[in-house]
Amino acid sequence: MIEQRKEEKVHLKVPGQGVYLNLVRKVIVDLAEKMGFPEEEVGKIEMAVDEACSNVVQHAYTEAKDIELKGGFFSRRKEDVERPIDLRVKIDSEKIEVIVTDRGERFDVKGYEPPDLDKYLAGMSVGGLGVYVIKTFMDEVDWTHKPGVGNILVMTKYLKSE
């Protein structure tokens, strides 16, 4: 573990497609390992970031459909074609902070209810645990939406001294 690491920033912008999630995971794992997080905590950080980015891929963007303007003319929103995931990571000697931004459909976490895990497991459900995983595995989580910017998810994990 490196003591008193100066702040470093990494910016990664990838298309919002599942094929790029492996690259995102590799970057996050590499940074968390270099900071000195224990293996279990690296896995939690990786899973939280993967869930956040997977949710963008699956839920954030409307389908890239042509929109009829008038008289047989069609258009397509640039965001729906590119579907980017903007990932900014800031590390220092105390924490890793990951900011995931997308320009997709607004996500409002205020209405989120944590799942009843007993019912979830009894029903052999699949999916739907992304927000739960993110909130459970990270120390601080904040979702916001800013017009013109999009959905902004800030996840922070503190490096605890042993």
How many CB atoms are closer than 10 A to CB 121?
10
Average pLDDT, the chain: 82
Six token digits for residue 42: 């690296």
Higher pLDDT, 148 or 68: 148
pTM for the whole thing? Answer: 0.78
Is there a contact between 96 and 27 (Cβ–Cβ < 8 Å)? Answer: no
Residue 51 is given by DSSP the state H
Decide: 137 and 124 in contact? Cβ < 8 Å. Answer: no
Q: Give SS3 for 106.
A: coil
Residue 2 binned pLDDT confidence (cut-offs 50, 70, 90): very low
* Residue 93, SS3 per DSSP: coil
User: In which band, very low, low, confident or very high, does the pLDDT at 111 lie, cut at 50, 70 and 90?
Assistant: low
pLDDT at 62 over 60: no
Whether the per-residue pLDDT at 64 is higher than 60: the answer is no
pLDDT digits 0-9 by tens, 72-103: 665 655 555 567 899 999 999 999 999 999 98
The pLDDT of 64-78, averaged and rounded, is 61
Q: Delineate the domains of the chain, giving CATH numbers in brackets.
A: 8-62+76-158 (3.30.565.10)
Percent of the chain with pLDDT over 70: 70
Contacts of 64 (CB under 8 A, 6+ apart): 76, 80, 81, 83
Per-residue confidence at 140, pLDDT binned at 50, 70, 90? very high
